[in-house]
Structure 1
Amino acid sequence: MKLHIVPARTGLEWTRLGLRVFWRQPMALAALFFLCMAAMSLATALPLVGPAIALALLPSATLAMMVAAAEASQGRMPTPALLLVAFRTGRERLNAMLTLGALYAGGFLLIMGLTAAIDGGQFASIYMGGQPMTREAAESGSFQAAMWVSMLLYLPLSLLFWHAPALVHWHGVPPVKALFFSLVACLRNLGALTVYALAWLGVFVIAGMVVSLVVALLSGLGLGMGFAGGVMVGTAMMLAAMFFTSVVFTFRDSFEAPQAPQAPAAQD
């Protein structure tokens, strides 16, 4: 396995490929993303351990979208069966993915625990869906401090797990080594990842402006706020699915190995 160092402008290409490949198979990729989110939502409903299980499923859900995007880039139709791809590649890799999930859940809950020491758990409760956001909470100094601390701590956690599921699945790397290699790859390609993040921020901002205009027009036609709200939620979910479709390209260009996913650039 060899690490590739790519120029910063590659981040724009990753975004472009994610958008292009998504629109090759929009229904299949969107449906798989919705299934991933539904599975995590169902897990959250379990008493006591539900939120932890939902967090532990995130690396597997990310891998499912990466495999689906690799399939779509090769002209094949992603199927809902890819939702379980992390659990159908042998006992060794199954155990590795379960370990990754447990480490991710543990890391995330540790961050929430640290923020609780700042504001008494208010931010963690709101973020995890335990209580609704209120204006008083948002304006609280301790709440804002907890929010910023969580953002600063989540960044290294995200870098640790960015490539880790793919390294386990395609390269057979043990979980702890996969976390280390993921962090190193992200830091060595930080310029490209920064451009990638900014490009996606731009996509979300532009899409938000367009949707806001559409919602205003729909409201003016008397279609009701319920319908407009559905448009906004649906658009947000589609954009999230597009983003996760692009993640496989950040992995493909960062590592080289015979068993790496073949996700060539979409042809015009």
Structure 2
Amino acid sequence: MNKFPARAGWQWVKQGMMLFRKQPGGLMALFFCCMFVSLFSMIVPLLGQIAPFILTPLFSIALLEGCAHVDQGKRALPNLLLSGFRKPVRSPLLVMGALNLLLIAIAVGVLYAMAGDTVMLVSKRPPQIEQSQLDGLLVAVLIASTLYAVGWILTCLTAPLIYWQQMKVNKALFFSVVAVLRGWKAFLTAAVTLYLMNFIACQIVVLILGTSQLAVAVVFTLLLITLVLTHCTLYIAYRQIFGPTDLAVPAKADRPEPLL
């Protein structure tokens, strides 16, 4: 694993956008399938509230596999949604989902530890909060969000390493953290670039359309597109760090079994 300069992050985003432009409809359709299953999982008794967070790595694999298909000249079809739900990668990806849930719990814990009283005031109708309390809440939200973002970036390569390299969770975590730390400038540049692109686009929409329902719909659509672009960028980064992916995985002895 080589070190990457900051400009490599911009190249990842640029190539990710080019990848998205090849099949925007297919990738967005795959993403909407992931969203539908995520929403449907919320009706599961007991586990419904946490199921979307635990299933996040499996949905991420679906999008990354879609990116790999597009990159190799194939169509990104909705059936790729099941890529992460098949053996033998299903169990380790669910473990990563549990880790994702832990990161969220830590971030929420930090938020409530710093501004729990203010959060309770905001939840009241009408909100009973002073400007000084609101400022403190914004700082707490920023810190908690940054904490989760750092954790996600450090582990972002774990799921594709599990899926494409057939690594165990602990080994994949190690290589993901090492790769991100060695190329932290590039990853930071990519993250900031994606954020600024979404922020500027949303600001332009608000300036043109104001705060109408149409503006809200457009801003939400831009957010969804940014999430897909993030996975396109992540795929490009993975490909440059660990080499091209092989769509014919896993091996014959470990051929995926349908999830029934």
CA deviation vs aligned residue, 1:9-37 (integer Å, no higher than 9, x gap)? 11111111111111110111011112222
Corresponding residue SS for 1:120: helix
Amino acid at match of 1:112: V
Tell me the residue number matched to 2:114: 118
Tell me the residue number matched to 1:67: 65
CA distance in 2, matches of 1:104, 1:125: 28
Q: TM-score normalized by structure 2?
A: 0.81
Instruction: Check the 8 A contact 1:5/1:188 in 2, yes or no.
Output: yes
Structure 1 residue 165 corresponds to structure 2 residue 153: no
202, 215, 226: which one aligns with 1:208 = 202
Structure 1: runs of 5 or more not aligned: 220-224, 263-268
Residue 58 and residue 171 in structure 1: after superposition, are their counterparts in 2 closer, same or farther (change >3 A)?
Answer: same
Structure 2: runs of 5 or more not aligned: 249-260
CA deviation vs aligned residue, 1:162-184 (integer Å, no higher than 9, x gap)? 10000000011111221121111
Amino acid at match of 1:172: Q
Percent of residue pairs identical: 26
CA deviation vs aligned residue, 1:167-220 (integer Å, no higher than 9, x gap)? 00001111122112111110100011122122223322342244335525xx9x
- Count the aligned residue pairs: 247
Q: TM-score normalized by structure 1?
A: 0.79
Instruction: Check the 8 A contact 1:122/1:143 in 2, yes or no.
Output: yes
CA distance in 2, matches of 1:229, 1:55: 25
Corresponding residue SS for 1:54: helix
Corresponding residue SS for 2:129: helix
CA distance in 1, matches of 2:75, 2:187: 28
Structure 1 residue 233 corresponds to structure 2 residue 227: no
133, 136, 153: which one aligns with 2:129 = 136
CA distance in 2, matches of 1:215, 1:249: 34
Amino acid at match of 1:167: L
Residue 211 and residue 119 in structure 1: after superposition, are their counterparts in 2 closer, same or farther (change >3 A)?
Answer: closer
Amino acid at match of 1:227: L
User: Displacement, 1:48?
Assistant: 4.3
Equivalences for residues 235-254 of structure 1 within 5 A: 235-254=222-241
* Cα RMSD for the two superposed structures: 3.1
Moved over 6 A (4+): 130-133
Tell me the residue number matched to 1:189: 183
User: Displacement, 1:251?
Assistant: 1.1
User: Displacement, 1:38?
Assistant: 2.6
